[in-house]
Structure 1
Amino acid sequence: MERRLKKRRVLRSQITKLTNETEERQASLTSTEAVSFQARLIKLQQQLEHGNEEIEPLVPEEDAENEYQQVYDYQDRITSCLPGLQLRVGSGSSTTQAAVNSAGSGTAIQTTTPAPITTTSVKTRVRLPKIELIKFTGRRSDWQAFWEVFEQVVDKNEDFTDTDRFHYLRASVTGDAAVRCRAFHRRHDVIQLLRKRFGNEEPLVQEHLKSLIDLKPVRSSEDVRGLRRLYDTLAAHIRGLEALGRKLDTFSSMLLPMHNEQCHGTFC
């Protein structure tokens, strides 16, 4: 692993130098230089992604979050530079003779003005804001809220690659859930495992109902925090039950007398 880490450090150093030079010289770059910078940066990006994929399964769980953060930081550096380079390439003449250094090979390549970068060639993305995702520890009652957020923010986000989504998923799963997922190296396999283990609806319904039954009563109308906490907890579990297809009228007759008792005397 140490040899792979050394190789990745060299790649990251080259990316930092190239992106810094791109930012400093972007306004003055010729189209020929932009073609060369673009080709080198894309090649470095591909090599770095390959290195990340080799290292990722070997990273200890306690270092995973820091590892993923560094991966995304370098992805951001690259994807923020590529669109500007493409603009400089597009501003050149119809035919450009460029000596493109393909990953340091020194091979001279004759090129015409490149076609615009599309999703079928190189997928470039705008710089995305860092997102603080909900952590899922393996508590069954938290699965639904976690997955609803993760699915909308990450899993259905077309700006992310499958590798991005998998890294975000691994970084968001901790505790018992993370232990169960360690043996899997494909996003779909991890999601299937988590859904099978934690997404079974009937146990979730039972946990919501048990949490409602176990709510602590509020003894005083002056206990504003307690009343607010009681209301928020009730609302959260009711929303959870409704999201699982359980209508309020199917369980309200059971809960209403109980919570009237919990608040008995509070408003009298």
Structure 2
Amino acid sequence: MGEALERMKRKRRTIRSSTTKLLTRMEEEVSEEQPDCEKLREMLSVLSTKEEQLVDLDRGIEYETPTDELEAEIASTQDYQDRIITWKTRTKRRIERSRESVSARVSDTSRDSVRSHNQQTVKLPKLVIEKYSGEISQWQEFWSQYETAIHENDALCKKEKFTDLKSYLTGAAARTVAGL
């Protein structure tokens, strides 16, 4: 086994260990009755960064791995990627359920108030903000949605708004703000 391959595997082992600890913390927070969604968003951001690092290392390791060991290497890589994807999905789903729960409570309170003054109500469709990857042609549409739903929402503090912004970014856009 070459020295470069050994170094990449050691680095990957260290990042995987750190990622496993993060996944354990995410699992604990997701299982809470009322999870801290801001903390979950932060963990998702960290997990995405770790995932990118692992993908890069996995490519290098696969390139350097002898053919007879390649199948086992790819199986190991895929198992770990599956675990990351599973927890990203579960965490996002839990954040969304928490958001819907809060929205439902706020909506119920608002609806009761409105009904006491006016019996007619209008059911509005749920606002969905599309993710932004950094493609300049999609910026205006993304910003219009985000600005209306979150940026101009006085009920949210700046930190919540920024955390929400980061949760809607992917690809190059997410990498640009990852360290902030």
TM category (shorter chain) comes to 0.5 to 0.7
TM-score (norm 2): 0.53
Q: 1:5 deviation in Å?
A: 1.1
Runs of 4 or more off by more than 2 Å in structure 1? 87-98, 112-117
The secondary structure found in structure 2 opposite 1:111 is: helix
Aligned length: 109
Partner of 1:121: 170
Decide whether the 8 Å contact of 1:52 with 1:71 is kept in 2. Answer: yes
Partner of 2:50: 44
Which entry has the higher C-alpha Rg, 1 or 2?
1
Structure 2 unaligned runs (5+)? Answer: 103-149, 151-155, 172-180
Q: Which has the higher contact order (CA 8 A, sep 6+)?
A: 2
Kindly tell me: are residues 112 and 18 of structure 1, through their superposed partners in 2, closer, same or farther at Cα, counting changes over 3 Å? Answer: closer
Letter of the 2:162 counterpart: T
Letter of the 2:164 counterpart: T
Cα deviation per residue 1:88-139 (whole Å; 9 max; x = unaligned)? 43335763626xxxxxxxxxxx71424876xx836xxxxxxxxxxxxxxxxx
Cα deviation per residue 1:28-62 (whole Å; 9 max; x = unaligned)? 23111111110011100000001111111110111
The secondary structure found in structure 2 opposite 1:38 is: helix
Say if 2:26 is the partner of 1:22: yes
State the identity %: 27
**How far apart in 2 are the matches of 1:21 and 1:112?**
19
Q: 1:86 deviation in Å?
A: 1.4
Kindly tell me: are residues 50 and 72 of structure 1, through their superposed partners in 2, closer, same or farther at Cα, counting changes over 3 Å? Answer: same
Structure 1 unaligned runs (5+)? Answer: 99-109, 123-268
Kindly tell me: are residues 116 and 33 of structure 1, through their superposed partners in 2, closer, same or farther at Cα, counting changes over 3 Å? Answer: closer
Say if 2:138 is the partner of 1:87: no
Root-mean-square deviation (Å): 2.5
For 1:87-236, list aligned pairs within 5 A: 87-90=93-96, 91-92=98-99, 95=156, 97=159, 111-114=162-165, 121=170
Partner of 2:16: 12
